[in-house]
């Protein structure tokens, strides 16, 4: 961490160290912005005390969201099938052989996620849902204060995340989308495409942008 970075009172150095040690791809400045944005929605008078993360991997971003949820006495559900996205599969850039289950021969990040939550002291705040985003959305049944979308980056995966979970964001709640790159030269397009869909729908307005993180607020039915 940069010496000039000041931690918010809702994030301890111990939890930050756990997050930094966990495998993942969230830059610290965006992680701190995510932590702050989630706190805004959880701290509103009409908060329902629940946030949702789509795309857990090993729990790096989950620590930042879980820490702010704990500070508000809220719960965080984090949804992932834990078999990895396209880029985590054998032969792809982000494949990590240390995360392969020798029994199945497939990626399984669930144990590493649970270790992260244990080390961060967040097992009483974070609810791990081992399921695809589509399956999780089908069984969900209540409004939430925010949804953070950081799952698979194929168009099919991103569209399923948006279609399945954005309707559960309460009015005034947040839709937070990671890896939004307006310039195609900077990254894949699907997160940008669902970001544009959210704005064009008239149901969401942009609140802020931090690197590739976009923070939207639900304003319409």
Q: Is 82 a catalytic residue?
A: no
CA dist 115 and 20 (Å) reads 13
Choosing from 35, 81, 153, 178, the catalytic residue is 153
CA dist 30 and 32 (Å) reads 5
Strand segments (E) across the chain: 50-54, 75-80, 126-130, 144-149, 169-177, 204-210, 213-218
Six-digit token string for 133? 């985003």
Q: How far apart are the first and last CA of the chain?
A: 41
Provide the annotated active-site residues.
153
């Amino acid at each position: 961490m940069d010496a000039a970075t000041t931690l918010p009172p809702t994030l301890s150095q111990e939890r930050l160290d756990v997050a930094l040690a966990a495998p993942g791809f969230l830059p610290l400045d965006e992680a701190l912005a995510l932590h702050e944005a989630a706190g805004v929605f959880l701290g509103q008078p009409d908060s329902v005390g629940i946030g949702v993360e789509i795309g857990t991997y090993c729990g790096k971003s989950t620590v930042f969201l879980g820490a702010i949820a704990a500070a508000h006495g809220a719960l965080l559900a984090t949804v992932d099938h834990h078999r990895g996205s396209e880029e985590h599969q054998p032969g792809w850039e982000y494949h990590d052989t240390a995360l392969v289950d020798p029994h199945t021969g497939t990626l399984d990040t669930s144990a590493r996620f649970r270790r992260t939550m244990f080390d961060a002291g967040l097992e009483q705040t974070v609810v791990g849902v081992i399921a695809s985003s589509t399956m999780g959305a089908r069984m969900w049944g209540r409004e939430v204060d925010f949804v953070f979308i950081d799952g698979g980056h194929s168009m099919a995966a991103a569209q399923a995340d948006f279609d399945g979970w954005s309707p559960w964001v309460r009015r005034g709640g947040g839709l937070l989308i990671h890896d939004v790159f307006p310039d195609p030269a900077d990254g894949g397009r699907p997160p940008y495409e669902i970001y544009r869909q959210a704005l064009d729908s008239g149901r969401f307005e942009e609140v802020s942008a931090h690197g590739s993180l976009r923070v939207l607020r639900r304003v319409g039915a």
